[in-house]
Amino acid sequence: MANFPEIVIPADLLPVDGRFGAGPSKVRPEQIQALVEKSVSIMGTSHRQKPVKSEVAEMRAGLAKMFSIPAGYEVVIGNGGTTAFWEIATFGLIRDRAQFLTFGEFGSKFASSAKAAPFLGEQSVIKSEPGDAPAFAPEAGLDAYCTPHNETSTGVAIPPVRPAGADKDSLVLIDATSGAGGLPVDLNQVDVYYFSPQKCFASDGGLFVAIMSPAAIARAEEIKASGRYIPAFLDLMTAIENSRLDQTYNTPALATILMMNEQIKWFNSNGGLDWCVSRTKESSDAIYEWAIASQYATPFVADPAKRSQVVATVDFDESIDAEVVAKVLRANGVVDTEPYRKLGRNQLRISVFPAVEPSDVRQLLKCIDFVIAALAN
C-alpha cells in the first residue's frame, strides 16, 4: 500500500473549496466579510439594543420568507442549539407521551431525554437499523410525534408528514438540524421545525431556531400554566416571549447571528428554499450516480427515496480502506469526509449543504477515484 501522506492529488482535480463537513460546515467568504464590516457597529455591543435586535429581526423575517411559514406560525430563537432544544421540548412541549422515530444517533438522543423525564409517561419508540427509517404508528393518547428530518449520522432523510390517525391535538416535532435549508418541507405538516445554524446555514453552533405553529405555542402556554417545574434556561415560553422582542433570554453569540443572517439573505436573493434544494439535489445526485456506477462503492442507504440530499453516505468494498482514503484527502486539503464515528462502517460521509458548490462535489469524486487508484499501485 502506498504511503498515504506522499500521495499528491493533481491541482486540476482538487475542488476550489475542500470543505465537506457535516457541521461545522463550509462558511462562505462573504459571511466572514459581513463580520468584518459589522465588527464595530455590532460586535461587542449590547444584544438588547436596536442594532443587534435589527439583525435578529431581519434573520427571523428572512427565515419566515424562506420557509413560506403559514399564518400564525412564529420563528423562535434561543441559546443552546438543538441539543438544548430536546430538553426544552421534553419540559415544555410533551404533555405526557410521545412517539419517537429513531434511525441513527441523534433521533435516539431526544427519545432518551423524554424517557428519562420523571414527570412524563411511558414513551413510544420505533427504531430501525442505520441506513433505513421507520414510519409512525399512531396511538390514542400520544400527544406528540417526533422524528429527524435528516439523520446526520447515517445519511437517511424522510419527508415530514403529519401522521394519519393521530389524535387531533397531537403535535408533530421535526428535528431539522441538518435538513433545514437543504431539503423540501411543507410546514403545514409540522408544528415545530427546529434546527441549528452550523449545517445548511453555514454559521457557528450554539443557537436553536424553532418554527412553531399556533398549536405548539398553545401547548407551551398550557404546560407552563400547569405548574410543571421548568428550569429557567429551558423555559420555552421565555424563548417565545423574547423572540417576539427580537432577542434571546441570555446573551447570544453575535457572530453566529450575523453569519446566519448573511446566509439567509444569500438564499433568498437566489430563490429561497427551492434554489437551495435544487443545489443539494444536484450535488447529491452526482455522488449517488457515481457510487452506483463505481466498481468499489455503493450508496449506504439502499432505498433511493430515503437517501439524503444533504448528507451522502457511501460504502466501499472491503478491498478499499475508506479511512486511508479520507486521510489522503485531508492531507491534500479536502477535509471532513470521514464517516460518523460511532457508525463503524467502511465509508465516507460527504455533506453537500447549499454553500457547497456542485462543481466542487464533482471534483471531489475525481479525487476519490485518483486516490483509490494510487493506493492500489
| 307 φ/ψ angles, rounded to the nearest 5 degrees | -75, 130
CA–CA separation, 133 and 342 (whole Å): 18
Stretch 158-162: mean pLDDT: 97
- Which cell goes with 159? 419527508
Instruction: Flag whether pLDDT at 183 surpasses 90.
Output: yes
- What are the pLDDT digits (tens) for 10-32? 999 999 999 999 989 999 999 99
Instruction: Flag whether pLDDT at 3 surpasses 90.
Output: no
Instruction: Flag whether pLDDT at 342 surpasses 90.
Output: no
- What are the pLDDT digits (tens) for 265-290? 999 999 999 999 999 999 999 999 99
pLDDT band with cut points at 50, 70 and 90 for residue 335: very high
Sign of the CA dihedral with 140 first, then 146, 149, and 152 last: negative
- What are the pLDDT digits (tens) for 291-324? 999 999 999 999 999 999 999 999 999 999 999 9
CA–CA separation, 133 and 152 (whole Å): 13
CATH 3.90.1150.10 segments of the chain = 19-27+272-376
CATH 3.40.640.10 segments of the chain = 29-269
For residue 109, the number of C-alpha atoms closer than 13 Å in the C-beta half-sphere is 14
Q: Which residues touch 92 (CB under 8 Å, ≥6 apart)?
A: 220, 223, 224, 230, 234, 235, 236, 237
- Given the C-alpha cell 441513527, which residue does it identify? 104
Percent of the chain predicted with pLDDT > 90: 95
Tell me which fold the domain 29-269 belongs to: Aspartate Aminotransferase; domain 2 (3.40.640)
pLDDT band with cut points at 50, 70 and 90 for residue 72: very high
Strands 207-212 and 74-79: antiparallel
Stretch 240-259: mean pLDDT: 96
Tell me which fold the domain 19-27+272-376 belongs to: Aspartate Aminotransferase, domain 1 (3.90.1150)
- Given the C-alpha cell 410521545, which residue does it identify? 98
Strands 144-148 and 124-127: unpaired
pLDDT of residue 65: 98
* CA angle 71–353–296, rounded 5-degree value: 135
End-to-end CA distance of the chain: 7
Stretch 125-145: mean pLDDT: 97
Type of residue at 159? P
Sign of the CA dihedral with 133 first, then 74, 24, and 370 last: positive
Stretch 67-72: mean pLDDT: 98
Type of residue at 172? V
pLDDT of residue 5: 59
pLDDT of residue 360: 98
